[in-house]
Amino acid sequence: MRSTPPRQTLLVVAHPRTNSLTARTAARLRDRLTEDGAVVDLLDLYDEGFDPRLTPVDEPDWENRDKLYSPEVRAHADRIAAADEIVVVFPVWWYSVPAVLKGWIDRVWNYGFAYGRSEPRLAGKRMVWLGLAGAGAADYAADGLGAALDLQLRVGVSRFCGIEDATVHLLHDTELSGVPAHQRPARVLALLAQAETAVIPGRSAAPSDRSPRSGREPRPEHRPAPRPQPEHHGTRVSA
Ligand SMILES: Cc1cc2nc3c(=O)[nH]c(=O)nc-3n(C[C@H](O)[C@H](O)[C@H](O)COP(=O)(O)O)c2cc1C
């Protein structure tokens, strides 16, 4: 009898500092995912020197979805293709993702690979966006920026590329400078526990927080085009 192969997790982290809370969160998740039986491919975009600038070689050719992109982009695409689940850990900067992560999406989540095929190559994967936010949950809820970030990443990137099982989670109040020193270790532990709950399958408290794997929508065949406003505006941002 053949055993089931372990699930492959691509763990992406985007932060310039190795002692950041973001980096610590990624390190913790790497350990926990491994304990959970996953084979983790850690992609530290800063550490690997990923260049976020899109150059002509990686610009989509709308008339050729089989265009051969740069070796760097192809190598990254292979890592995405090999993954059963993709976990992206990042600090929220200007209510969005850091430039290095945006550039990774721009260059690697490219036409013909991530989208533009009637049978999306990334369909069936699971994706978790885990953002660390200095501001509190109330701020994100009050002005709609949490919902905007959720739509941008879950719908605008993941679902657009055929990944229905995608969620966006935020860890809030991550700025520790205002927290008394003696309270910081407990605060960090609480945030790391939230991260584990958000990312590790089976540890998520609310099953309703998961998107179904079925019910796929028609896939874009060509370039990204303006899409109708999604009917679901509820954010999956966690408190
Ligand atoms: C350039 C920059 C922009 C930021 N923009 C936001 C923001 O829009 N919303 C927010 O909640 N926090 C924002 N922050 C705060 C970061 O999210 C916070 O510093 C980070 O989550 C702390 O974790 P770290 O130690 O891993 O950097 C910003 C921080 C920087 C440096």
Q: What CA–CA distance (Å, rounded) separates 196 from 179? A: 22
Looking up tokens 């679901």, which residue turns up? 232
Is 1 domain-assigned? no
Cβ contact 7:87 at 8 Å: no
Is 217 domain-assigned? no
Question: Rounded to two decimals, what is the model's pTM?
Answer: 0.86
Is 235 domain-assigned? no
Is 201 domain-assigned? yes
Is 133 domain-assigned? yes
Is 225 domain-assigned? no
Boundaries of domain holding 151: 8-209
Is 219 domain-assigned? no
* Bridge partners of residue 96, in order along the sequence: 93
Is 237 domain-assigned? no
pLDDT digits (tens, 9 = 90+) for 78-127: 999 999 999 999 999 999 999 999 999 999 999 999 999 999 999 999 99
Arithmetic mean of pLDDT, 63-82: 98
Read off the CATH number of the domain in which 161 is found. 3.40.50.360
Query: What per-residue confidence (pLDDT) applies to 178?
Result: 87
Pick 97 or 219 by higher pLDDT.
Answer: 97
DSSP 8-state assignment for residue 38: -
Which two tokens mark 40?
């983790």
Which residue has a Cα nearest atom 4 of ligand 1? 93
Ligand 1 contacts (CB < 6 A) are: 15, 20-22, 91-95, 132-135, 174-175
**What spacing in Å lies between the alpha carbon of 75 and ligand 1's midpoint?**
29
Q: What CA–CA distance (Å, rounded) separates 58 from 60? A: 6
Cβ contact 140:133 at 8 Å: yes
The tally of domains found in the chain comes to: 1
